[in-house]
Structure 1
Amino acid sequence: MTQHRKILLLFCLAIIGAFIFLSTTQSSVLDSITKTQSNFKNGDIIFQTSQSEQCEAVRIATNSKFSHCGIIFIENGKTYVYEAVQPVKMTLLSDWIQHGEGNKYVVKRLQNADKVLNNDVIQKMKSYGETLNNKDYDIYFEWSNDKIYCSELVWKIYKEGANIELCNLQKLKEFNLEHPLVKTILNERYGNAVPLDEEVVAPSQIVDSDKLITIFDNY
């Protein structure tokens, strides 16, 4: 075998080895994530960064990397995220993950979930959630049930179904409203009548709740 062919052979073997290594590593990572997802439970709360101008404004206004959240419910052996988009609906977890930036997400769980979120409480949470199903997404972030936004849905399901307030509500004026993009969104929504005293809850408030612990984080 000539020196040239030896070099070519070694090069090909190196490429094949690298491909096998990457494939094995990727498979291992996917297996690990799949195993973790199988441990998700009813009532877990999931967070991600969505890709839209409004979501970017939410991130800026709340000084957080998270702009969207939902609550995990398991039905007939399948894992769903109950979320307030347009409209409020159940979304398969696998599909929900793909809607986020880089397929990254964080899952949190109530600290004493095993004791508090028994079957009866979970059923109450699901039943209350059903009353909000198919509601339109609330672009005005009003604290009513006429329309619903993502963190409002999660907060109210916990409050009404489990009698737990995940965090305190804040007034709109307490957020960072001075950024140009945030101002643009507010102007589009409200004109000159921004409801600064409206009580709201943001994904950032829930994700930082001292009542929750982190179950999964691939950020």
Structure 2
Amino acid sequence: MKTLKKITFILIGFFIIGAIISLKKLSNEVETAFEIINKKSQNTYINGDIIFQTSESEQCEAVKIATNSKFSHCGIIFIENGKTYVYEAVQPVKMTLLNEWINNGKNNRYVVKRLENADKILTESILKKMKSYGKTLNDKDYDLYFEWSDEKIYCSELVWKIYKEGANIELCKTKKLSDFNLKHPVVQTILKQRYGTKIPYNEIVIAPSQLYDSNLLITVFDNY
């Protein structure tokens, strides 16, 4: 009986060790996969590409419902010193390595869109202006109230304004807050948390869905 127990414990030990090794191997494989994605993207994606994903939070769910879209977050791709970044408005506005940004989204799924004829329109001087304007917003606080000012910035506002101020391109028409689906209970909860009874229905707004639907953009990657 004692011999059987010893054998059992030994087998369990081997199983645990094997599981740990497998998990480490899987972790290394995932890390390697992201490195490959980042390296490939340097050839696949270009400065000015716009990237979309779904994040998981109560606010993100409200954004998806209000805008009737599967996307709740977006950013603009900039390549610096051979590395691919997503310039995004979170807390605060910052540059995030592409593989990290992908990992922050739901199920690592995302879509990349590009300005049609970007190779002709987004010249070196235009991209310089876009990046220069973008830098003026770096480290700005995230705008929880979605106000149309540069004091604080939210994700789709950042992308829209970089194109408008840097390239004089309006990717889509702006809307008012009242143009979105605000009646859903999840959306109502967020609105009441943020504004109380003073909801700014006439505030100018740009949502990720508006950028995604822009007829000026074409899809270059989609794993949804």
TM-score, scaled to structure 1: 0.85
Q: By how many angstroms is 1:36 displaced? A: 5.1
Does residue 1:94 correspond to 2:99, yes or no?
A: yes
The one-letter code matched in structure 1 to 2:80 is: E
The one-letter code matched in structure 2 to 1:154 is: V
Mapped to 2, the partners of 1:35 and 1:149 lie a distance apart of 28
Give the structure 1 partner of residue 201 of structure 2: 196
Mapped to 1, the partners of 2:171 and 2:42 lie a distance apart of 23
Choose from 180, 183, 188 the match for 2:188: 183
Mapped to 2, the partners of 1:213 and 1:73 lie a distance apart of 18
The one-letter code matched in structure 1 to 2:104 is: H
1:41-65 alpha-carbon deviations (Å, 9 max, x no partner): 0000000001111011000000000
Does residue 1:170 correspond to 2:181, yes or no?
A: no
Give the structure 1 partner of residue 11 of structure 2: none
Give the structure 1 partner of residue 64 of structure 2: 59
Give the structure 2 partner of residue 116 of structure 1: 121
8 Å contact kept, 2:37–2:99: no
CA RMSD of aligned residues (A): 1.8
Mapped to 2, the partners of 1:80 and 1:52 lie a distance apart of 23
Q: By how many angstroms is 1:34 displaced? A: 5.7
SS in structure 2 opposite 1:38?
helix
Q: By how many angstroms is 1:35 displaced? A: 3.3
5+ long unaligned stretches in structure 1: 1-22
8 Å contact kept, 2:63–2:72: yes
Mapped to 2, the partners of 1:209 and 1:164 lie a distance apart of 12
Mapped to 1, the partners of 2:173 and 2:205 lie a distance apart of 9
Q: By how many angstroms is 1:37 displaced? A: 5.5
SS in structure 1 opposite 2:142?
coil
Does residue 1:69 correspond to 2:74, yes or no?
A: yes
TM-score, scaled to structure 2: 0.83
Mapped to 2, the partners of 1:183 and 1:72 lie a distance apart of 33
Q: By how many angstroms is 1:39 displaced? A: 1.2
Cα 1:32–1:46 change in 2 (3 A) is closer
8 Å contact kept, 1:57–1:182: yes
Over the matched positions of the two proteins, sequence identity in percent amounts to 70
In the TM superposition, 1:1-219 aligns within 5 A as 35=40, 38-219=43-224
8 Å contact kept, 2:42–2:79: no
Give the structure 1 partner of residue 6 of structure 2: none
The one-letter code matched in structure 1 to 2:139 is: N
8 Å contact kept, 1:46–1:69: yes
Mapped to 2, the partners of 1:43 and 1:185 lie a distance apart of 31
**Greater Cα shift, 36-45 or 76-85:** 36-45
Number of matched pairs: 194
Mapped to 1, the partners of 2:139 and 2:223 lie a distance apart of 30
8 Å contact kept, 1:36–1:216: no
The one-letter code matched in structure 1 to 2:48 is: G
Mapped to 1, the partners of 2:79 and 2:72 lie a distance apart of 23
